[in-house]
């Protein structure tokens, strides 16, 4: 099957964190503190490594409840303690790459708190087959096609 064209997108999430940038940064840089929030299903993790330094790699492998595996692999490009972290990472699902991203985390002082800005620029490589089937399902099949055609038709005028 031919590969889908790569689609790109960027999203930003900003959060107020209840302590100084110095403290907030520790929750990204120290394994034990990062683990406290980074894991939504600690019981699914079957492999994990965390080497927080420029050039260091963070990797994780999960096995989900249905047995399918997911991986995350990151490389730290730039670290300015208490100010910013830049890393690149890819994610795969059932052995197929789904996306490759560049993430930038900025810590800005806001009074006694921290304004954290997370920016992810991602290249979407296409859904793994299992996910593709779901997308081709009734949820977004014919309806989406009609939508696309309608919007394309409207944009011609």
Partner 1 sequence: MMEPQQLDRVFIALSDTGRRRMVERLSRGPATVKELAEPVNMRLPSALKHLKVLEEGGIVVSHKAGRTRTYSIQPDAFGAIDDWLRKRKASMNAAFDRLVMAMEEIPEEEAEK
Q: How far is the CB of 144 from partner 1 (least distance, A)?
A: 5
Helix 31-38 with 21-29: angle, nearest 10 deg: 90
Phi and psi at residue 33, in whole multiples of 5°? -75, -35
Using rule CB under 8 A, residue 122 touches partner 1: yes
Q: Which is nearer to partner 1, 65 or 142 (CB)?
A: 142
Which residues in 8-27 contact partner 1 (CB under 8 A)?
9, 11, 13, 15, 17-20, 22-24, 26-27
3-state DSSP percent of the chain in helix, strand and coil, to 5: 25, 45, 25
Q: How far is the CB of 65 from partner 1 (least distance, A)?
A: 16
Give every CB contact of residue 48 below 8 A, 6+ residues apart in sequence.
Answer: 59, 60, 61
With vertex at residue 126, the alpha carbon angle to CA 121 and CA 127, rounded to the nearest 5 degrees, is: 115
Q: How far is the CB of 103 from partner 1 (least distance, A)?
A: 9
Q: Residue 79 forms beta bridges with which residues?
A: 85
**Residue 68 neighbours by CB distance under 10 Å:** 13
Which residues in 31-70 contact partner 1 (CB under 8 A)?
33, 36-38, 40
Strands in 81-142 per DSSP E:
84-93, 96-110, 113-124
Q: How far is the CB of 152 from partner 1 (least distance, A)?
A: 5
Q: Kindly state the number of chain residues that form the binding site for partner 1, as judged by CB under 8 A.
A: 49
Among 25, 99, 117, 154, contact with partner 1 (rule: CB under 8 A): 99
User: Which 3 state secondary structure label does DSSP give 145?
Assistant: helix
Rule CB under 8 A: which residues touch partner 1?
1, 4-5, 7, 9, 11, 13, 15, 17-20, 22-24, 26-27, 33, 36-38, 40, 98-99, 116, 118, 120, 122, 124, 126-127, 132-133, 135-138, 140-145, 148-149, 152-153, 155-156
């Amino acid at each position: 099957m031919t590969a889908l064209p790569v689609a790109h997108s960027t999203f930003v999430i900003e959060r107020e964190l209840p302590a100084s940038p110095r403290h907030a940064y520790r929750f990204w840089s120290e394994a034990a503190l990062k683990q406290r929030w980074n894991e939504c299903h600690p019981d699914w993790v079957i492999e994990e490594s965390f080497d927080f330094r420029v050039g260091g790699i963070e990797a994780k492998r999960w096995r989900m409840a249905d047995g399918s595996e997911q991986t995350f692999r990151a490389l730290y490009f730039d670290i300015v303690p208490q100010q910013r972290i830049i890393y690149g990472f890819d994610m795969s699902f059932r052995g197929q790459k789904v996306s490759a991203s560049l993430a930038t985390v900025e810590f800005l002082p806001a009074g006694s708190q921290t304004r954290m800005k997370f920016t992810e620029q991602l290249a979407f490589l296409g859904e793994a087959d299992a996910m593709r089937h779901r997308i081709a399902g009734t949820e977004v099949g014919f309806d989406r096609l009609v939508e696309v055609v309608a919007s394309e038709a409207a944009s011609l005028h």
